[in-house]
Structure 1
């Protein structure tokens, strides 16, 4: 008889026979809730975005939610424009 391991559809992680919750899922959901409530004006949600960044800094490699967030953060840094 073969034993199937449980997987979590939100994180696609398998740990033994129990799914593991994404460590930054709470912060990711808070961002979505805040953005929806504030008509997607990011400046209105700076506190929850900051909390997500902190979570990703602490547990980024263990969080599926942070995989796109960390890349997005790097690409939103101000860029200097060269005038030719």
Structure 2
């Protein structure tokens, strides 16, 4: 079942509000950048952005270092790990 058809939810109540000109104008004033990654049925956050190495619930993949010291991503996203210093 998609989010739009989930009981009590609608697209208008979430992202559809951004189509409202007054909301869009307010968002534009804030000048923030957002990286929105929708992983509908995709790989788990434990295998990408939040690896838990050495734990029983960490998943089967190893973690790899990124450019920022102390930050690790899952081994499935090496290209993103290489540019992690540019992510805000």
Work out whether the TM-score is over 0.5: no
TM-score normalised to structure 2 length = 0.25
Task: Name the one with the larger strand percent.
Answer: 2
TM-score normalised to structure 1 length = 0.26
